[in-house]
Amino acid sequence: MFEQPFLNCAMLFVVVVILTLIVMKPRRSLRHIPGPPSSSWLFGNMIELLLPHQYGDNEFSWQDTYGPVYRIKGCFGEDRLMVSDPCTLKHVLNDTIFARSPQQQQIVRMLIGEQSLLYVHGSDHRRMRAVMTPAFSASHVRALPPLFRRIAQNVVQRWRVEGASESSGVVTDVYPAIHNATLNNICEGIMGFQFNADQDTGKSELGRSIQNIVAISSTRSKLSILAEGGLLYVPPVLLKLALHLPTRALRALHRNRVLGNRVSEQLIKEKYEAMKLGVESEKDLLTALVNANAANKDERQRMTEQEMIEQIPTIMISGQDTTGNTLSWCLYQFAQNPDWQEKIRREVLTMKENPDRELTYSDLEKLTLMNAYIKEILRFHSGLPMSERIATCDTILPLSRPITTIKGEVVTEIPIKKGQSVISATSSYNRLKSIWGGDADVFRPERWLEELPKGQALGPYANLMSFFGGQRACIGWRFALTSMQVLLAEFLCNFTFSFPPNNEVRAAVAVTLIPVTNEGVPGLPICIKSLE
């Protein structure tokens, strides 16, 4: 998710090298695969894909027309393959065959380092994931709802102060408060420290830096699309030179890495010292991770201290952005669907029995309507709409169903050359009518209370691709889900949500799927009113 901040600032450098390199890069054509026509050699189909008025206007229409595997044109006439076919996706999710491009890896390296779970692959990735996975298990996450509720109550109090207790309620942009809450959940629930934007401590400074990175990555323009397409033509050695350009975005990336390493090193040191002194274990997941890593008798299977350090900013950045946006879409759909808002409110209040009772992890699992609603949000508003991968070797992509090429040939597989760009279309997969039914383009939580069509299980939760899948599936999906459940329950027990008049909020994709206001900036103005 980290390439976006770099794109605008590297544009000038890219243009210089593109003109000399573009004719040197061999074509890896998919020209016989059907797909939408391109109106521009410069931009291909990327403007229609990434900058429609409402995200998905073109992408979902293309899928209806051409099926779950089709060709689009990238910038500078490059062929790209859009994939939402579950059989094909399963192959693309194999990170030994498809990986981030070297250019994307350089940006991850600059932002976090070379030992982040997002950067490493192969045996190192498997080893680190094996160490980290138990810390995010249900046995550890089930202790966190009281912490999440306290953070949710802080948001409730903030909205009351802003005017939600007035008889007419108050129109406020809930987007910043929700993202602050999700960052706090991560800081306290995973790292074991409180984030306060008004404090000058190193830990809070890191939180502000993370917020700045997320803000920079929440924009996309024609210029950034052109730069993104151009990066594929730039050799990594030249890209390293571009990473030293004195721009605001690059300074932010560099500062975040230095700060992240310093604060993370301090956190890891504190956890190890507490463990050696026999201090009673905290409930945060980082403590569980440190203890489990130290207890591993096989040193070859442990994570090094630097590897542990680099996971902290990785988790903070990736978790805060996607969870915050998903929660925002939950409130958006509450405003759109007051009947579902009321149904879930009644369900939560019935489960609580009295307003002061805290919902346990087991209680949250039993909230049938809320969980159906969250699943539909994850399906309909996929947090990471797409992810680009590059073939690391020549391979064959299998298809669930045959497709007919432009030449009239019926094929059941597509040969892919090393270096070919393939886009895992997560949002499109979540809209496949063959899996989700003929009304897949309709927001309808009831579908999760019915028997769903059978499909290949790709993601870790509810057969959805919203937490990605395969070896790169989101390791913190259970943490994110529990965080959302607690926050939504607390919000519904205190407020009603509705849209003010003449308020248009639309979906836009930068790296993640974000709500955008009439002014074209990330935000979600909603009328909040306290329950009587």
Would you list which residues are annotated within the binding site for heme? Answer: 474
Classified as helix, coil or strand, 525 is strand
How open is the CA angle 183-189-190, to the nearest 5 degrees? 85
378: left (phi over 0), alpha (psi -120 to 50) or beta: alpha
Residue 450 gets which letter from DSSP? S
Amino acid identity of 158?
R
Place of tokens 């099926």: 67
Q: What is the DSSP string of 453-488?
A: PP----SSBTTBSTT--GGGS-TTHHHHHHHHHHHH
Burial 34-69 (b: 16+ CB within 10 A, else e): bbbebeeeebbbbbbbbbbeebbebbbebbeebbbb
Contact 89, 424 (CB under 8 A): yes
Cβ–Cβ contacts within 10 Å for residue 470, how many?
Answer: 18
CB 234 within 8 A of CB 242: yes
- Closest to 146 in 3D by CA, of 483, 373, 460: 483
How far apart CA 38 and CA 44 sit, in angstroms, is 5
Annotation: binding site: 474
Map tokens 């591993």 to a residue: 296
Q: What's the DSSP call for residue 404?
A: E
Neighbours of 167 (CB within 10 A): 7
CA dist 321 → 212, 217, 290, 348 (Å): 11, 10, 25, 26
